[in-house]
Structure 1
């Protein structure tokens, strides 16, 4: 199964927020980093399922260096997420 980069971000007064460079609009959050990682996998699985239902093309995963070269991603913690499976730390 293909893994995608998820970016976890945390500001002082927020939960851990997650977004995916390859799937704009696919976001999630959790009270802890571990909860955010679990919720990210569920969000990704649902997002991909909806894209497939709509006949959309599922993108190939971006390389980590490309995702992290974006200045908007500075300070984010990257993790690998497999839709419907556990996450893997990079």
Structure 2
């Protein structure tokens, strides 16, 4: 499994409700009455869209950085959110040089955990790489900014006009 984070552009307001679309994935969009619900719906829409692409044999596009996506002057953006999705990626066979003692420890840990050597090494590598994943703060003129926590358990919705948090949502 690999995690990819895509940018969703949010439109709407508290009064009218919100919608979000993914510029990197034409046709992938969602809507909700509130921002917290929109985040959950965006994650579901993204997962279903990517799943459909994989089932159809289509290539999953790389995600653009939030800074690389231009601001469309014809849209009234309410903000941008970063939504992640886990996708299955086919394993590749690789040759790795590793010390004999470390390999024995890896094999013992894998056995105790009920994993294969490859599974344990992939899990350890994923955990190591995720430590360097940092949230990207959007450079946009939109009023609201949704910033998920690094572990995706909660998000802060920041009102840029009032320069204060609007809501803090817990997502389990």
| TM-score above 0.5 | yes
User: When the two structures are superposed, what TM-score results if normalisation uses the length of structure 2?
Assistant: 0.45
Contact 2:9–2:77, Cα closer than 8 Å, also in 1: no
Q: Which residue of 2 aligns with 1:10?
A: 12
Flag the structure with more relative contact order, 1 or 2, with Cα contacts below 8 A and sequence separation at least 6: 1
Q: Which residue of 2 aligns with 1:80?
A: 82
When you count helix as a share of all residues, which structure comes out higher?
1
Listed as ranges, the gaps of 5+ residues in structure 1 are none
Q: May I ask how many residue pairs the two structures share in their alignment?
A: 87
Listed as ranges, the gaps of 5+ residues in structure 2 are 87-145, 149-172
User: When the two structures are superposed, what TM-score results if normalisation uses the length of structure 1?
Assistant: 0.82
Instruction: Note the C-alpha offset of 1:15.
Output: 1.7
State the Cα RMSD in Å. 2.1
Structure with larger Rg: 2
Q: Which runs of 4+ in 1 moved over 4 A?
A: none
Contact 1:67–1:73, Cα closer than 8 Å, also in 2: no
Contact 1:7–1:77, Cα closer than 8 Å, also in 2: yes
How has the CA–CA distance of structure 1 residues 51 and 28 changed in structure 2, closer, same or farther, with 3 Å as cutoff? same
